[in-house]
A and B are shown apart, each in its own frame.
Chain A
Amino acid sequence: DSGVTQTPKHLITATGQRVTLRCSPRSGDLSVYWYQQSLDQGLQFLIQYYNGEERAKGNILERFSAQQFPDLHSELNLSSLELGDSALYFCASSPGLAGGSYNEQFFGPGTRLTVL
């Protein structure tokens, strides 16, 4: 158990819908990262927050947005869902910013999103 929690574990929805994925980082970690992993694909970096502020952005679609709240939990919002959005969405946390062995990322169990 990494100490990172994600809800829900599974989510099945229809095209065109909107969903929210939730992540609680490990106690004391200030950085939260979101990744998308499609079937047999690598981890695609979406976005990173540090202490409530957006710090880095990857290839995140405009239909996707995220935020980190004062209590440091984070939410990833996916809207106008398409079939291709079906994937495992991982949240990870680290004590600070990227780099440094103390900044290894601890991954949550993931949310499996299926868009029908």
Chain B
Amino acid sequence: GQNIDQPTEMTATEGAIVQINCTYQTSGFNGLFWYQQHAGEAPTFLSYNVLDGLEEKGRFSSFLSRSKGYSYLLLKELQMKDSASYLCAVAHTGGFKTIFGAGTRLFVKA
């Protein structure tokens, strides 16, 4: 089976840094995705990690530790438009599924 855990909600201040954690238990791991979803809109791709380490892409970075079943998404220089849900998703080799976590709703305040 698979299990993906993320905090339900987080609040941070404009200009600050926030880290959103994701832990997972799964078999046949084939990578971890982070998506951003604004309310009522479609999710959009942010990052993909399959090897351990940090991937940096502008203000967003994503980290993966396969041995610990752990990932985080780091958002720097927060902007009000970053208020959204952030979805952690695990891709599987067997069955070719991608399973999404429940998402973390981030509120950015002025």
Residues of A within 8 A of B (CB): 2, 33, 35, 41-45, 48, 50, 55-56, 58, 88, 90, 97-101, 103-110
Cβ-defined partner of B96 (8 Å) among A41, A55, A101, A106? A55
Q: Enumerate 27 A-B pairs (CB-CB under 8 Å) in ascending A order.
A: A2-B44, A42-B101, A43-B89, A43-B100, A45-B100, A48-B97, A55-B95, A55-B96, A56-B96, A58-B99, A90-B43, A97-B96, A98-B91, A98-B97, A98-B98, A99-B96, A100-B50, A101-B31, A103-B91, A104-B48, A105-B45, A106-B45, A107-B43, A107-B44, A108-B42, A109-B41, A109-B42
How far is B46's CA from A101's CA once the two chains are assembled, in angstroms?
A: 10
> Which residue on A lies nearest to B55, using beta carbons?
A101
- CB neighbours (8 Å) of B48 from chain A are 100-101, 104
Whether a CB of chain A sits under 8 angstroms from the CB of B102 is yes
How far is B98's CA from A108's CA once the two chains are assembled, in angstroms?
A: 16
Beyond contacts A45-B99, A58-B97, A98-B98: 4 other A-B pairs, Cβ-Cβ < 8 A, are A42-B103, A56-B97, A100-B50, A105-B33
Q: Could you say which of A55, A98, A103, A108 has the most chain B C-beta atoms within 10 Å of its C-beta?
A: A98
Given contacts A42-B102, A98-B91, contact A107 B42 (CB under 8 A): yes
Once the chains bind, are B50 and A105 in contact (CB under 8 Å)? no
Chain B 77-89 near chain A by CB (<8 Å), digits 1 or 0: 0000000000101
The 4 closest A-B pairs by CB, nearest first: A99-B30, A107-B42, A42-B102, A101-B48
Once the chains bind, are B95 and A90 in contact (CB under 8 Å)? no
Cβ-defined partner of A98 (8 Å) among B41, B87, B92? B92
- CB neighbours (8 Å) of A35 from chain B are 100
Interface residues of B in 3-60 (CB under 8 A from A): 30-31, 33, 40-45, 48, 50
Taking the nearest CB of chain B, how far is it from the CB of A40, in angstroms? 9
How far is B61's CA from A107's CA once the two chains are assembled, in angstroms?
A: 22
How far is B69's CA from A48's CA once the two chains are assembled, in angstroms?
A: 25
